[in-house]
Structure 1
Amino acid sequence: MSNTQGKEESAPTPASTDTSIIAGGPQPIAAPRAAGALHRIIVVGGGAGGLELVTRLGDKLGKSRQAQVTLVDRSPTHIWKPLLHEVAAGSMDPNTHQLEYVAQARWHHFEFQQGELTGIDRARKVVHVAACVDQDGDELLPARELPYDTLVLAIGCVTHFFSVPGAAEHAIALDTVAQAERFRRKLIAACVRAQNGKGRMGEDGRPRVDVAIIGAGATGVELSAELRNTAHVLNAYGLHQLDPRRDVRIHVIEAGPRILPALSERVSAETTKLLRKLDVDVFTGERVTEVTHDAVLTASGKHIDADLTVWAAGITAPGVLRTLGLPVSKMGQIVVGATLQSEADPDIFAFGDCAAAPWTEKQTTVPPRAQAAHQQATFLYDAIRARLAGKPLPEFGFKDFGSLVSLGHFSAVGSLMGGLIGGSMFIEGLMARFMYTSLYRMHVLALHGAIGMGLDTVTHWLRSKTSPRVKLH
């Protein structure tokens, strides 16, 4: 994805009134803005889609002083969320893949405000941002109000524990780098304890480490394969008393009848075969009823040992979305129309996992996938420019190009669909791994351009030749 260059004149946004009706609700009264002042665009959420959007808007509108573009996020850094399972397994050092929002803002002509969204005053057209504190709890930035003319919500999703007893207390979610790093440290500690006879012993009298992964969607399946690779690497680096397959047990637990329920049955079946070849225990049709500090219990009566437990069984929208006074879906997502505008407020857009956007072709909503966020970010770049020019907004149409699941160094599987090949095709092995890797490279391309993406690829390749395959500290 390349940034469009050049300047073009833009007409001011039509004035709002309290009597017009747009997108199913009254248009709010605009906050006072000085004559000639720039149109204020705020994007809340610096995930894959949000960061791609502000980068392109900054390069086009911010650089030419056609608009003031601001990104709001509670974290100071960005990492592509599909990489978190690799961070958790130790096969990726997050410090080498994280991007500083402040630096990206400087390079691409937008402003960054760190803090968590706590509310919106639609009458005054301001967003409320919480205070930002350091690790000791000392305030770095005060709570703030940021005025907007166009607001875009892209705050993603969070883990849903479904009120399962003990899940929130004893299972680790993988929503953030901090959570992934916590799991990695606990995994290495468990292996070291087992190596030195300080952990639990198996029925055969050998030291044993059990990892339970609840939920067999893409995150759970990909993590299980990465963990098997991690066990082999740890064995090579000194944990010789642990057999990486026999003594490090990985259990994937799914409530549905098969793993990867959102993908085709063929992809699910082939992935199951591959996991079992890796000695990953796959439990399907097992609804988790309780998580304890050392076990996972299921409705059928199974007691699955677990030194570490990962919860990857579901997602839900952040709770703050239900407090904004905007229509939300049953999952708490902002309900938007075909233009990705909120049904109640045309000045507020939402996309990605936090939005319930119509997928007319399938008579459902757009699925929470990285490719959907990427397509919506591209769409909103054009839509916001049209809005500033006083032109009618286009309508978003999602194109499903298929899904891919990485099994680390071992393999990858997936299906290509729709406009990419004109039908549907199952792929696996080297081709699937190449296409899975290209998804991340497309994201880097959107953030840094072709030259930056090329340099980033070479840099990480060189670093991989001088670093262990697993982060060991």
Structure 2
Amino acid sequence: MHRFIVVGGGAGGLELATRLGDRYGKVGRNRAPRATVTLVDRNPTHIWKPLLHEVAAGSMDPFTQELEYAAQARWHGFEFQQGELIELDRTARRITLGAVQDEDGAAMLPVRTLEYDTLVIAIGSTTHFFGVPGGAENSIALDTVEQAERFRKRLIAACVRAEHQTDPVITRDHEGKEEPRVQVVIVGAGATGVELSAELRNTAQVLSAYGLHRLDPSHDVGIALIESGPRILPALPERVSSATAELLLKLGVRVLTGERVTEVAPGVVRTASGKAIRADLTVWAAGIKAPAVLSQLDGLTVNKLGQLIVRRTLQTEIDDNVFALGDCAACVWYGTDRNVPPRAQSAHQQASFLFRSMSNLLDGRPLPEFTYRDFGSLVSLGHFSAVGNLMGGLIGGSMLIEGLFARFMYMSLYRLHIAALHGYARMMLDTVAHWLRRTTLPRVKLH
């Protein structure tokens, strides 16, 4: 049987493995499996990465949203192997996975090798610190659930600590204004940074309402959003950026544009213009790059961000048996001078495309070419609002939407991801179950 291996269980990789397993890996009454499908990921569970800012703010409990890869594999006819990709042998068509340790550091799984006929690499991206001194050491990225949970716990601790200071030190910013008792600095005003800033404003209000601190959530808990470019949300249309900036201003978020961060030190973020911004907590959301392992994979070509360069079939430049999708792939956006943007909708479209391509591959037919369709972008401002441009790739322009309708559209994106993994019936049941849980729990995780 043909051997498919998908490395990376993010939005695109998990959707592809699920659909391949359903089509080719299951045993039916009158059907034998046509292929073996193996999903590889270094973690045992999956969570949709665009939700991590909600985990960091405490507005989402990750343990109710995580999906266990082993269970998904059992339900959908593929195999799961936990481990990190560390080596590729293209001649032997073999990958090597690193050893896995448990929480106490004891060996759980040894180094292993897996053989493939078709390999799909979908390992996503990691935070890019751009060599800024102290960036990696003194700020928190939001690449994993563990990082998001670490930030959430440190935020609660900072609020409680500030309230119980017997002799608080009053500090003032560069303009002479009194600074908040607790200040969170977010470096990078892309979608993640903007969404986190809005979620944190809601979190401060809820923590105060439940008595975890008695600080004024608007005055004593400050949120500063720093962007090196001239406006926030630089990848989106300017009118979306302007509408979002106005909403953030109403929420009391301090937005600093045109400020390039030059150093992140304990308790302070410094910029090229000479500003020193006090920071009790710093989040780095300023950019992404591909994992370093991709540049070490047996001669596969990468671009300056470390992404695998792929053709329009999503095959790598020098090996027809190795494909790549999602954030780790540099795929030309046909009709433009840019690459396909690193968004969840890109990974979803590429996963659907590769699922159809694999049918051609097994039948010996030519592979089609991928064309990205931009359906617009949405940015959530938590319970307050949402903004975005809708269906830009369909109407030849963009339609600005905001408010309740935009919020509904944003929430539907995650529901569509659940439907791709479980089908629409289970997605609807999951939606009802999630709503019932929210009616019996506080809006923010309090511990």
> With structure 2 as the length reference, what TM-score do the two structures score?
0.96
| CA shift in 2, pair 1:192/1:414, >3 Å | same
Give the partner amino acid of 2:387. Answer: V
Secondary structure in 2 aligned to 1:55? helix
Q: Is residue 188–residue 287 contact of structure 2 (8 Å, CA) maintained in 1?
A: yes
* Among candidates 268, 278, 281, match of residue 295 of structure 1: 268
**Equivalent in the alignment of 1:20:** none
Match of 1:46 among 3, 6, 9: 9
Using the alignment, how far apart are the partners of 1:387 and 1:423 within structure 2? 36
AA in 2 matched with 1:411: S
Match of 1:194 in 2: 162
Which residue of the partner structure matches residue 153 of structure 2? 185
C-alpha contact 2:5 2:120 (8 A) present in aligned 1: yes
Aligned 8 A contact 1:418 1:424 in 2? yes
SS of the equivalent of 2:193 reads helix
Tell me what 2:379 maps to.
405
Which residues in structure 2 correspond to 1:331-410 (within 5 Å)? 331-410=305-384
Q: In 1, distance between residues paired with 2:37 and 2:89?
A: 19
Correspondence for 1:165: 133
Q: How does 1:185-224 map to 2 (within 5 A)?
A: 185-197=153-165, 201-203=169-171, 208-224=181-197
Aligned partners of 1:448, 1:71: CA distance in 2, in Å?
16
Shift of 1:241: 2.6
What is the CA–CA distance in structure 1 between the aligned matches of 2:392 and 2:203, rounded to whole Å?
Answer: 35
In structure 1, list runs of 5 or more residues that go unmatched. 1-37
Deviations 1:247-268 (A, max 9, x none): 0000000000000000011001
* Whole-angstrom distance in 2 between the partners of 1:391 and 1:47: 28
Partner of 1:151: 119
Opposite residue 247 of structure 1, the aligned amino acid is D
Aligned match of 1:58: 21
Is the CA contact (8 Å cut-off) linking 1:254 and 1:285 kept in structure 2? yes
Matches of 1:323 and 1:119 in 2, distance apart?
8
Q: Deviations over 1:371-405 (max 9, x none)?
A: 00000000000001110111110100000010000
Does the 8 Å CA contact 1:165/1:290 hold for their aligned counterparts? yes
Answer whether contact 1:190 1:199 (CA < 8 A) is retained. no
What amino acid is the match of 1:108?
A: H
Q: Does 1:106 align with 2:74?
A: yes
Long gaps (5+) in structure 2: 28-32, 173-177
Residue 266 in 1 paired to residue 239 in 2? yes
Deviation at 1:239, TM superposition (A): 3.9
Q: Which runs of structure 2 are paired with 1:9-28 in the superposition (5 Å)?
A: none
The residue aligned with 2:204 is 231
Matched, 1:460 2:434: yes
Decide whether the 8 Å contact of 1:297 with 1:303 is kept in 2: yes
Q: Aligned equivalents of 1:379 and 1:253: distance in 2?
A: 37
Q: Which residue of 2 aligns with 1:139?
A: 107
Shift of 1:207: 7.0
* Stretch moving more, 239-248 or 116-125: 239-248
Instruction: Judge conservation of contact 1:401–1:418 (CA < 8 Å) in 2.
Output: yes
Q: Distance in 2 between matches of 1:331 and 1:234?
A: 39
2:420 to 443, 446, 449: 446
1:235–1:323 distance in 2 versus 1, CA, 3 Å: same
**Of 416, 421, 445, which residue of structure 1 is paired with 2:390?**
416
**Residue matched to 1:14:** none
1:225 counterpart SS class? helix
* Residue identity opposite 2:106 in structure 1: D
Deviations 1:52-104 (A, max 9, x none): 00000000000141100000000000000000000000000000000000000
Query: What does residue range 423-438 of structure 1 map to in structure 2 within 5 Å?
Result: 423-438=397-412
Distance 1:103 1:297, change over 3 A: same
Q: CA deviation at 1:363?
A: 2.3
| Secondary structure, counterpart of 1:471 in structure 2 | coil
Aligned with 1:248 (options 221, 231, 236): 221
The answer to whether the 8 Å contact 1:115/1:130 transfers is yes
Cα pair 2:180 2:222 within 8 Å, conserved = no
User: Structure 1 residues 235 and 389 mapped into 2: Cα distance closer, same or farther (>3 Å)?
Assistant: same
In the alignment, which residue of structure 2 is the partner of 1:317? 290
* 1:201–1:207 contact (8 Å) kept in structure 2: no
Map of 1:305 onto structure 2: 278
| TM superposition shift of 1:416 | 1.2
Whole-angstrom CA distance in 1 between matches of 2:78 and 2:54? 30
Q: Secondary structure at the match of 1:405?
A: strand
| TM-score between the two structures when normalised by the length of structure 1 | 0.90
In the alignment, is the contact (CA less than 8 A) between 2:376 and 2:393 conserved in 1? no
- Residue matched to 1:5: none
**CA distance in 1 between partners of 2:132 and 2:331 (Å):** 29
Q: CA deviation at 1:197?
A: 1.4
Cα–Cα, structure 1 residues 206 and 423, in superposed 2: closer, same or farther, change >3 Å?
A: closer
> Percentage identity across aligned positions?
68
Deviations 1:193-222 (A, max 9, x none): 011116954348897100000000000000
The alpha carbon displacement at 1:420 in A equals 4.1
CA distance in 2, matches of 1:58, 1:184: 36
* Length, aligned pairs only: 436
Deviation at 1:358, TM superposition (A): 1.2
Residues in 1 aligned to 2:350 and 2:117: alpha-carbon distance in whole angstroms: 20
| CA–CA distance in structure 1, aligned partners of residues 142 and 180 of structure 2 | 27
Q: CA deviation digits over 1:233-286, x for unaligned, max 9?
A: 001010453000100000000000000000011001110110010000000000
What SS does structure 1 have at the residue aligned with 2:444?
coil
Give me the whole-angstrom Cα distance separating, in 1, the residues matched to 2:141 and 2:79: 30
Bigger mean CA offset, 282-291 vs 235-244:
235-244
Task: Kindly report the root-mean-square deviation, in angstroms, between the aligned alpha carbons of the 2 structures.
Answer: 1.3
Are 1:404 and 1:414, in contact at CA under 8 Å, matched by a contact in 2?
yes
Please, which of 59, 62, 67 is the counterpart of residue 94 of structure 1?
Answer: 62
Q: Which residue number in structure 2 is paired with residue 6 of structure 1?
A: none
- Any idea what SS the aligned residue of 1:71 has? strand
User: Counterpart in 1 of 2:175?
Assistant: none
Contact in 2 for aligned 1:199/1:207 (Cα 8 Å)? no
